């Protein structure tokens, strides 16, 4: 009926609102020469004063990468990436060793403040969150270090960890995502620049949320961060990452690797609020977000849960996974993926059940508007020895307008007859009835859409740490602004 | 001047004319009832008044307090004081009743430049009103209308009305689906909202509701026009004779 036509027209009219974080920071940068070969890798490694073993590890990964082919099975399309036309290292020029936040370039502090991430410790959510801020290739500040050290928690940039905790890094780096795991992970292994390192000692419940903010600033620069979190026996940590980038006409590559290790009775809660620049309404510019995230539940009764709210990026290619090795271990994946305009997302998870009585839950909420494409791709695999393994998967898609797409691609492989795997999927539209109902109570079109979509995502949103849930709720509203009439 | 003035209103849906020249004026403080056969255009009139998209006004005017309603979107009309208790209330999965009410109240406050409402005070106020209408705490915590019984949905509509305190209320078959006791409770709730400033338009099929909510004027709508207006006796007359006179007269 007429109303639907209007809805679609309004989608077209108002989409592509200004991206709030699209500004550029003008700052002196120390860059590696453009392009990628062994020299680039040696340059990065030298800049970071890395030990020989790490350089070797990088070089080996680079050799393997050169033999590999870029994957094309995902339901995303983009012109070929010229890997020689990128910068692989960009760091703000600054004094190498910072003793306190006062020494951080004020331009940088101002940038983070504009992003709503004050790095002055006293201001950070009254002490409930510690932040590591990564600007292009390097970590610029980590807050609350002293407080964390009291509990034996290590939270620093991975470059720093290579220097201060080489044994831990050597032991766990690449142990969950091997260097040659896939094309983008392999590239990352060769050229990774920075990222966060977290170590929670035995029996410690990390006293605050840990959080990293990633920011791509420099032009034609790839961001290859690497995050490693190790939770020893009986420990607990909740970690959140947020991401933004300036608005640029060229596409920027982001190929991160995240590895989590949970030992006996340990729990890691990893939350992502991803708001990279999505490109304009015609699909010009925006971040290519090709990320490998994987957690190993090595210990008995260990638990890893991934919660993600993905609203940005031109293309998202990302499957946070859990390898459930320990008996009775638990994997969870809660996801909200929003695509608007020309955005494409192919995202989902892999739950690999190896131990006995391992359980996994997957709740995925995909929302597409404009001409966007949104694919859920999920694998549930149950190994021979995983007696009593259980999985529950629920995939819901919400469509706004009639030019967007939603696809659900579940793969189920079970080698154990005692496994129980359930899969539910629904696709719905924001109905004109719902919009009118909300508006007839006084809500603007945009607030109505925000309310309905947040309701649709509720099961996922409630998994986010309290401090970030409100922010994420607003982000959902903003990213769909004008997508419906 | 009357609070609500409808003049020569023509409206169509999907190119099909439904309302064919409605004249109606309701004074502040008055309650008018509309009765009429199925498909005569009662709900259509309520949607046109509330500003639903797809219901196109081709002729005529609607004024509330002198303001041209046709110039306003649905949300603006709501803020201006129009409220529609729907014949078929809509489900909002994942949105709790309390959140929905708070958002609605804050939307109004935002429109007039007021701060957001104090959450604690609001909670108390809503709970008190909910209690008088037989809306349980559980219903406020659940998603709006999801899994509600027909009667629960209707009560919930009246609760929204009580909380939002509109100037002009349209009740579209609020009585259908209510059991005998609920009809009494809801009617009392509606009567409590009758003030000298507030007007109501009550759409119903049954004279029974009008025993509880006594209207000042009753109109018969058929074939997209008001065929007859009168006092309470008109409802009794309809109860006796049905709509045959009007349907045939206009056919
Ligand atoms: N989208 C539409 N397309 C075509 N005709 C429509 C549409 N919506 C409503 N109508 C028609 O408009 C007429 C009036 O409908 P309306 O819902 O206003 O009646 P009503 O008086 O409220 O009836 P009831 O007493 O059954 O609630 C009906 O004939 C209906 O079929
Ligand atoms: Mg009706």
More confident residue, A371 or A97: A371
Element spanning A114, H or E: helix A106-114
Looking at domain B4-250, its CATH architecture is: 3-Layer(aba) Sandwich (3.40)
For residue A244, what pLDDT band results from cuts at 50, 70 and 90? low
Structure token pair of residue B231: 């006092």
pLDDT of residue A21: 58
> How many structural domains comprise chain A?
1
- Say yes or no: CB of residue B42 within 6 Å of ligand 1: yes
Residue A245 — very low, low, confident or very high, per pLDDT cuts 50/70/90? low
Mutation for testing the A interface, residue in B107, B108, B109, B110 having most A CBs under 10 Å: B107
Rg, C-alpha atoms of chain B: 18
Does pLDDT of A328 surpass 50? Answer: yes
Test site for ligand 1: of B42, B220, B221, B246, most ligand atoms within 8 A of the Cβ: B42
Residue A22 has a pLDDT of 55
Burial A92-123 (b: 16+ CB within 10 A, else e): bebeeeeeeeeebbeebbebbeebebebebee
| Whether residue B49 has its Cβ less than 6 Å from ligand 1 | no
Q: What is the pLDDT of residues A348-401, one digit of tens each?
A: 999 999 999 999 999 999 988 888 888 898 999 999 999 999 999 999 999 888
The predicted pLDDT at position B69 comes to: 94
Residue of A280, A187, A169, A171 whose CA lies nearest to A225: A187
Q: Average per-residue pLDDT in chain B?
A: 91
Q: Shortest Cα distance from B60 to chain A (angstroms)?
A: 20
Residue contact A3–B54, C-beta within 8 A? yes
Confidence of residue A216 (pLDDT cuts 50, 70, 90): low
Q: Which residue has the higher pLDDT, A305 or A72?
A: A305
Q: Is the pLDDT of residue A113 over 80?
A: no
Distance CA A337, CA A293 (A): 16
Residue A1 is predicted with a pLDDT of: 30
pTM over 0.90: no
- Strand runs (DSSP E) across B121-191, as ranges? 143-144, 168-172
> What percent of chain A lies above the pLDDT cut of 90?
40
Q: What is the span of the domain harbouring residue A283?
A: 2-479
Assign A34 a pLDDT band (cuts: 50, 70, 90): confident
CA-to-CA separations, A336 to A20, A245, A260, B77, in angstroms, rounded? 20, 20, 21, 33
Residue B163 in 3-state DSSP? Answer: helix
pLDDT value of position B90: 96
Best mutation target, B14, B51, B103, to test chain A (most A CBs within 10 A): B103
pLDDT top residue among A235 and B209: A235
Measured CA angle at A271 (ends A270, A274), to 5 deg: 135
Closest CA to A169 of A156, A180, A182, A181: A156
CB nearest to A451's CB, from B74, B84, B95:
B95
pLDDT by residue (tens digit) across B143-196?
A: 999 999 888 999 999 999 999 999 999 999 998 888 888 888 889 988 999 999
How confident is the model over B12-16, as a mean pLDDT?
A: 94
- Mean pLDDT for all residues in chain A: 81
Nearest Cα neighbor of A328 from A300, A298, A347, A289 is A300
Distance CA A311, CA A455 (A): 16
Q: Specify whether the CB–CB gap between A430 and A398 falls below 8 A.
A: yes
pLDDT of amino acid B13:
95
Q: What is the pLDDT of residue A219?
A: 54
Is any ligand 1 atom within 6 A of the Cβ of residue B56?
no
Length of chain A: 485
Alpha carbon A281 to chain centroid, angstroms: 23
Reply yes or no on whether the pLDDT at A112 is more than 80.
no
Least confidently predicted of A136-140, A437-441, B194-198 = A136-140
Is residue A484, in this structure, part of any structural domain at all?
no
Measured between CA atoms, how close is A434 to chain B, in angstroms? 6
Q: For residue B72, is pLDDT > 90?
A: yes
- pLDDT computed for residue A331 by the predictor: 97
**Of A72-86, A236-250, B178-192, minimum mean pLDDT range:** A236-250
pLDDT digits (tens, 9 = 90+) for B205-230: 888 889 899 999 999 999 999 999 99
Q: Is the pLDDT of residue A98 over 50?
A: no
Residues A272-279, mean pLDDT to the nearest whole number: 76
User: What b-and-e string marks burial along A141-157, b requiring 16 or more CB atoms within 10 Å of the CB?
Assistant: bbbbeeebeeeebbbbb
pLDDT score, position A430: 87
pLDDT tens per residue, range B22-59? 999 999 999 999 999 999 999 999 999 999 999 999 99
In the predicted model, what is the mean pLDDT of residues A157-185? 93
Indicate whether residue B189 lines ligand 1 (CB < 6 A).
Answer: no
Identify the pLDDT of residue B185.
Answer: 86
- Tell me which of A317 and A233 has the higher pLDDT: A233
A431, A436, A459 member nearest B74 (Cβ): A436
Is A336 in CB contact (< 8 Å) with chain B?
Answer: no
User: What is the DSSP secondary structure assignment for residue B224, as one 8-state letter?
Assistant: T
């Amino acid at each position: 009926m007429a109303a639907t036509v209007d809805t679609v027209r309004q989608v077209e009219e108002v989409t592509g609102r200004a991206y709030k974080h699209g500004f550029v920071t003008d700052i002196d940068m120390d860059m590696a020469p453009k392009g990628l070969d062994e020299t680039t890798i040696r340059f990065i490694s030298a800049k970071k004063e890395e030990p020989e073993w790490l350089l070797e590890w990088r070089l080996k990964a680079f050799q393997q990468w050169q033999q590999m082919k870029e994957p094309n099975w995902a339901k995303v399309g983009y012109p070929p990436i010229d890997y020689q036309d990128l910068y692989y290292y960009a760091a703000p020029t600054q004094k190498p060793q910072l003793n306190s936040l006062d020494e951080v370039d004020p331009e940088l502090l101002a940038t983070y403040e504009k992003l709503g991430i004050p790095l002055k410790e006293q201001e950070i959510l009254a002490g409930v969150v510690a932040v590591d801020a990564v600007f292009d290739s390097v970590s610029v500040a980590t807050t609350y270090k002293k407080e964390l050290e009291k509990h034996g928690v290590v939270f620093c940039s991975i470059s720093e960890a290579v220097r201060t905790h080489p044994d831990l890094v050597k032991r766990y780096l690449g142990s969950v995502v091997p260097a040659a795991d896939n094309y983008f992970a392999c590239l990352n292994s060769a050229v990774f620049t920075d990222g966060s390192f977290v170590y929670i000692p035995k029996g410690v419940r990390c006293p605050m949320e840990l959080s990293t903010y990633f920011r791509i600033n420099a032009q034609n620069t790839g961001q290859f961060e690497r995050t490693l979190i190790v939770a020893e026996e009986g420990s607990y940590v909740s970690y959140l990452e947020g991401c933004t980038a300036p608005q640029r006409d060229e596409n920027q590559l982001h190929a991160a690797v995240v590895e989590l290790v949970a030992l006996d009775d340990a729990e890691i809660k990893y939350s992502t609020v991803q708001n990279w620049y999505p490109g304009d309404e015609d699909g010009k510019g925006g971040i290519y977000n090709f990320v490998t995230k994987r957690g190993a539940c090595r210990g008995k009764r260990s638990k890893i849960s991934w919660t993600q709210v993905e609203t940005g990026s031109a293309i998202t290619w990302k499957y946070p996974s859990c390898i459930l090795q320990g008996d009775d271990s638990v994997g969870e994946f809660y996801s909200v993926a929003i695509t608007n305009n020309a955005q494409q997302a192919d995202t989902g998870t892999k739950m690999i059940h190896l131990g006995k009585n391992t359980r996994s839950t997957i709740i995925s909420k995909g929302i597409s508007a404009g001409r966007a494409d949104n694919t859920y791709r999920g694998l549930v695999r149950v190994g021979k020895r995983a007696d009593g393994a259980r999985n529950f998967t629920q995939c819901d898609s919400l469509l706004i307008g009639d030019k967007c797409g939603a696809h659900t691609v579940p793969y189920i492989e079970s080698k154990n007859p005692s496994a129980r795997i359930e899969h539910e999927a629904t696709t719905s539209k924001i109905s004109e009835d719902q919009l009118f109902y909300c508006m007839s109570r006084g809500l603007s079109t945009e607030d109505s859409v925000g309310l309905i979509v947040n309701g649709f995502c509720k099961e996922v949103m409630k998994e986010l740490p309290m401090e970030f849930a409100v922010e994420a709720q607003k982000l959902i509203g903003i990213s769909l602004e004008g997508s419906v009439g | 001047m009357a609070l609500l003035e409808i003049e020569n209103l023509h409206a169509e849906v999907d190119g099909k004319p439904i309302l064919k020249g409605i004249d109606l004026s309701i004074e502040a403080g008055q309650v008018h009832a509309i009765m009429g056969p199925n498909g005569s255009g009662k709900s259509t009139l309520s949607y046109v008044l509330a500003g639903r998209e797809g219901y196109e006004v081709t002729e005529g005017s609607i004024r509330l307090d002198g303001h041209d309603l046709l110039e306003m979107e649905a949300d603006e009309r709501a803020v201006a004081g129009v409220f529609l208790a729907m014949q078929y209330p809509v489900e909002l999965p994942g949105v709790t009743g309390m959140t929905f009410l708070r958002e609605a109240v804050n939307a109004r406050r935002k429109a007039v430049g007021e701060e957001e409402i104090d959450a604690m005070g609001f909670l108390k106020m809503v709970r008190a009103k909910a209690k008088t209408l037989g809306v349980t705490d559980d219903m406020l915590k659940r998603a709006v209308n999801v899994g509600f019984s027909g009667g629960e949905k209707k009560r919930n509509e009246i609760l929204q009305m009580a909380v939002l305190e509109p100037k002009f209320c349209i009740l579209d078959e609020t009585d259908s689906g209510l059991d005998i006791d609920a009809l009494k409770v809801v009617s009392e709730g509606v009567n409590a909202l009758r003030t000298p400033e507030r007007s109501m338009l009550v759409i119903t099929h049954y004279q029974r509701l009008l025993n509880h909510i006594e209207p000042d004027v009753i109109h018969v709508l058929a074939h997209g026009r008001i065929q007859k207006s009168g006092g309470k006796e008109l409802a009794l007359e309809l109860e006796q004779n049905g709509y045959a006179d009007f349907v045939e007269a206009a056919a």
